[in-house]
Amino acid sequence: MERVVLHVDANSFYASVAVLYRPELRGKAVSVCGDPAERHGIVLASTREAKKCGVKTGMAIWQARQACPELICVPPDYPLYVHFSQMMREIEESWTDRVEAFGLDENWMELTEPGFTMADGAWAADAIRCRVREELGITVSVGVSFNKVLAKLGSDMKKPDAVTVLDAAGWRERVWPLPVSDLLYVGPRTTRKLLPLGIRTIGDLARAPTQVMESRFGKNGLMIRAFACGLDTAPVRRSDLSEAIKSVGNSATAPHDVVTAEQARCVCYLLAESVGARLREAGCRCRSVSLSVRRTDMVWAGHQRVLPRPTNITAEIGAAACALWADRFADWLPLRSLGVSVGMLTADSAPMQTELFGEETRRRLEALDASLDSLRRRFGHQVVHRGIVLTDRDFAEVNPKEEHTVHPVAFLRA
C-alpha cells in the first residue's frame, strides 16, 4: 500500500495574518518584526512584496530597511497566530486524525489507507488549500509525497497557494537537481561542510559513499543521505498522542547587556524559574543542566553537567546553571543572551534514592516551588520574585515562562 503524506505550510504566516487584519497594507512591503526596545529587532516574516526587495527572515530591522526603504514594520500578535494555527489544524483534522505539527504554521498529514492513491492525495491537498483560503483568508502550499521529508520539500518547491506532487515514479528527476540546502535538516553549516566533498545538490548527496558520510558526519550523515535517497519511514503521529518530553529549555535576550557576575546569576535564576515550573507541570525531574551563552559579538557556546540526583527544584537548577557560568563563562562578559535547559528526564513517580541528610531541606524547597506555582497560576508570573532576580529591575520584568520559550522539534526521534 502506497503511503500518501501531505505537508501543509502557511505562506508568510505571520505577515499574511497581519495584512488580513489591516487591509490597507495589502499589496505593500510589510514585515512582522520583534520589538527593538526589547532587543528582539529582527524580521520574523514578510509579505511577497518585501521579499522581492531582498528582505529576509532573521534580518535586523535596520538591514531590512536598507534593502527596502518603503518597508512597513508591524509588531507580532502571537495569540492571534495561535488562533489561526488552531483553525488551520481543525480543517486538516476534518480529513484525518493523523496530523503532526512542525511549527505553528505547518503540519504533516497522513492520508494513507487502502485504495487511496497519490492522485487522491493531490485532490485532497487542493481541497484543503482552497478551504483554508476561503475560510481563513490566508494561503497555504501543500506538498504530496510518499514520506514526510519529500512532502515537506514539495511544499517548499512552489509558493504561494500551490500543490506539488512528488510521486515514487518521478521524484528523483525533480528533486536531485535541487541544491542540497533545500533538504530537511541540511542547514548552512552542513552545506558548507558538504562543499569540499563535491556535494552541491541533493543528487550528489544521494550518490555519496555511505562510509564517507558516516565518518564525516556520524549518524546525521547517514540520516541526510537516506533522506536524499527518499528513504524516510517516520510515521505521522496521531493528533491525540502526546510525545514524550526529552528536554525542557528557555532562553532570553537580556533587556540590556549582562556585564556583571551578579546580573549573570540573576538571569540564570530567572530562567531556572521557568524551566523548573515547566518540569513540574510535565511531572518530570531532570538529571542534567545545560547553560548556553551568547556574547555581544554574537559568539555562542554552551556546556552541561550531570546532577547527583534527579530534580525539578528551581533552586537546584538555578544553582547548577550559576555554577556552570562561574566555571566556564565567567570571562565571557558582556553577554547578550543566556539559555538554560535540562535533560535526562525521568517521571516524578520513578523511584529515587533518598539522602540520609538534607531530605527535609529538599521537601521544604519542593513545597516552596509548589506554592509559587499556585500563586503564579492565579495572579501571573510577576506576582512574586526571588530576591536574586530583584537585583536588576529590568530583568525582573522579563517573563521567560510565557515568552522566549524554546520548542525543540523531535522529528529526528521519529
H or E segment to which residue 265 belongs: helix 261-282
12 exposed, middle or buried (CB, 10 Å; 0-12, 13-18, 19+)?
Answer: buried
The grid coordinates of residue 110 equal 497522513
38 among known catalytic residues: no
Residue the block writes with cell 551568547: 294
Query: Given strand 99-101, what is the order of strands in its sheet?
Result: 99-101, 106-110, 5-10, 140-145, 163-166
Three state DSSP letters for 173-206: HHHCCCEHHHCCCCCHHHHHHHHHHCCCEHHHHH
Q: Among residues 410, 408, 389, 252, which one has the least CA distance to residue 342?
A: 408
Q: Which residue is listed with cell 551578579?
A: 262
List 49, 100, 106, 316, catalytic entry: 106
72 contacts: CB under 8 Å, gap ≥ 6:
25, 28, 29, 30, 31
**Grid cell in block for residue 371:** 506554592
Pair 144, 151: CB distance under 8 Å: yes
Task: Identify the CA nearest to 234 among candidates 120, 151, 342, 327.
Answer: 151
Which are the catalytic amino acids? 106
